Amino acid sequence: VLADRSNLEFSLLLDRLLEAQVKSGLRRARLYRDLAQTNDWLSTIALIDSLTQIGNRRAFDIELPRQIHHARRRSLGLCLMMLDIDYFKEINDGYGHIIGDQVLQQLAEQLRGNMRFYDTPFRYGGEEFVVILSNTDVDEAHFIGQRLCNLIANRAFGVSAALNLKISVSIGIANLRPEDDPRGQSLLNRADQCLLKAKTGGRNQVVVSG
């Protein structure tokens, strides 16, 4: 009888130990899952501009080489658009940075709402934005840029109940060439040079790489 009782107690103890191990394993599994989800969330947050809620410079640096690879593999056109808010420093100096931030947010909304669904906008830094125009030749990119330029110039940016601002943008566009590097630095440099020409040539206009 004592032997049977000892065997029963040992069996119960073993069951409890096994149950504890299973629960511990489940807790670890949930912990690992939660950590993975947190890391995914943090990775996503790290690629989003906190002010405008579009992709940031880091996201652009990741996405542009991927888009270039895709375009070359499928023999598709690709263009890069850079745009800059004209006289943005005067907005910040005259109305303050809170108003300036609202202008940036509303411009980002315009980019999201008026580009094609497969075009990808990013805030490159300050008042400068870039848009990757997938499956697009230079003539189509010029049309898209001019339409966006006109839309912004003809729109009032309501930054408060009592204040509507009129702004304009300068735009530079470059198309992907066979000699461009796979990271897209040469493509970006040409778009930047076109943007500079748009600004020095009078602003509120589109300049396309020849």
Q: Annotated catalytic sites, by residue?
A: 127
Q: Any residues with CB less than 8 A from the CB of 188 and at least 6 apart, and which?
A: 64, 80, 82, 130, 174
Q: Any residues with CB less than 8 A from the CB of 117 and at least 6 apart, and which?
A: none
Return the closest-CA partner of residue 111 out of 89, 96, 94, 133: 133
Token duo for residue 48: 């989003």
3-state SS record for 117-185: CCCEEEEEECCEEEEEEECCCHHHHHHHHHHHHHHHHCCEEEEECCEEEECCEEEEEEECCCCCCCCCH
